[in-house]
Amino acid sequence: MMETSYWDAIINNDKSFDGVFFYAVKSTGIFCRPSCKSKIPIQKNVHIYKTAVEAERNGFRSCKRCCPTDRSWVDSSEEISNKAIFIIKQNFQDEVQLNQIAAAIAIDPYHLLRTFKKHTGKTPLEYLQEVRLTKAREALLDTNQTITEIALNHGFNSTAYFSTVFKKSTGYSPSKFRKKIFSSVN
């Protein structure tokens, strides 16, 4: 029995599943990417394969419409990571989740997680936290905003959480960090 999410991806031409699986149709002898715009097959005639090679080994030929063996449709890990970084930097004040970033890039969340970590050495959410902390440090130095305002304006849900994360990162509480920097300047 086919997973419901795979069938949904096929009937909705869901690009985020491209590269996650390929589907082959017994009646036509052809295999496609999930985003293929070809006619929706009869479900009982569909076989799921993890790779194009596996589908070919089982006697299916590549679709001429979606060209599943042509890998040019797949973004490189650098492109995927750069797109995710752009989204993170544009939305760091908001509650950002892995699923949202993946949806914006139109790839599977787990593929994003693996690719991003391989390319940057961090998960997207670790990177998000780093961006928030960097921006918060800048705000501590360049503005007169209160610690609470900085915390809430930089994506932290509470001052206590912000203080904990900030201290873990810098070794100082936000208020001590601000005092230390200003006292060393004077």
Asked if 36 is an active-site residue, the reply is no
Task: Indicate the residue type of 78.
Answer: E
Residue 86: both structure tokens together:
């752009």
DSSP string, 13-58: T-GGGBTTBEEEETTTTEEE-TT--SPPPPGGGEEEESSHHHHHHT
Instruction: Please say whether the beta carbons of 93 and 154 come within 8 A.
Output: yes
Catalytic residue among 32, 36, 63, 66: 32
Angle at alpha carbon of residue 30, lines to 25 and 36, rounded to 5°: 85
Count, residues in the chain = 186
Instruction: Please say whether the beta carbons of 43 and 2 come within 8 A.
Output: yes
**Catalytic residue positions, numbered:** 32
